[in-house]
Amino acid sequence: MDLASITQSPTLIEQCKEYNLPVLALVSQQKGEDYDPSLNADEFIFCPFQDEELVARVKQAIYRVKGPSGTKILKAGDLTVDLERYDVTVSGRRVNLTYKEFQLLALLASNPGRVYTREALLTNVWDYDYVGGTRTVDVHVRRLRSKVEGPGRSYIETIWNVGYRFKTPS
């Protein structure tokens, strides 16, 4: 896709981000100064390029978005999410979550720092199971927070008028 058309219509990149797909920008060396970093590509490469470099950049972009392959346990501070066993612990104590709460936490924790709109969370977690409004996401986030967060322990951040993101404790 031509850079000019991307800057006129960034919705393609937004859609890729919403569905957790990496974005790789191919940038002409003659027009390198025209590259707009606000497009927020996961990786970019100057043309012409070697095949090996393209493969390496694609792998890097996928890694940044998806994380290391084979990772079955996510950790953030005292929080541990075992994706294979559907098990969540906080400070070593098991936390009982509903299936949707677990899916919501797993999605957010798999992509720390990434902001998800309520609509994106509905699409990724509820899929076709829910036809109501987006406020169900708020209710599930509130219940999830009551189970995994506490004094000095905050994992899910509200981005007002947008949605939510998972933040790793510092």
The pTM assigned to this predicted structure is 0.59
**CATH class of domain segment(s) 73-166:** mainly alpha
Q: What are phi and psi of 90, to 5 degrees?
A: -125, 120
The pLDDT of residue 25 is 80
Q: What is the mean pLDDT of the chain?
A: 82
| Domain extents in the chain | 3-66, 73-166
CA atoms within 13 A on the CB side of 4: 1
- Kind plus residue range of the DSSP H or E element containing 27: strand 24-28
The pLDDT of residue 99 is 93
> Which regions of the chain are under pLDDT 50?
1, 8-9
Q: Please tell me whether residue 19 adopts helix, strand or coil conformation.
A: coil
The pLDDT of residue 164 is 96
The pLDDT of residue 5 is 53
One-letter amino acid of 2: D
Q: How far apart are CA 102 and CA 110, in angstroms?
A: 12
Sheet holding 163-166, edge to edge: 116-117, 163-166, 156-159
The pLDDT of residue 85 is 86
The two three-digit tokens of residue 161, written as one number? 């008028």
The pLDDT of residue 148 is 96
The pLDDT of residue 169 is 73
| pLDDT per residue as tens digits for the range 36-81 | 777 777 777 888 888 888 888 888 777 766 666 666 888 898 999 9
The pLDDT of residue 15 is 73
Q: How far apart are CA 48 and CA 83, in angstroms?
A: 40
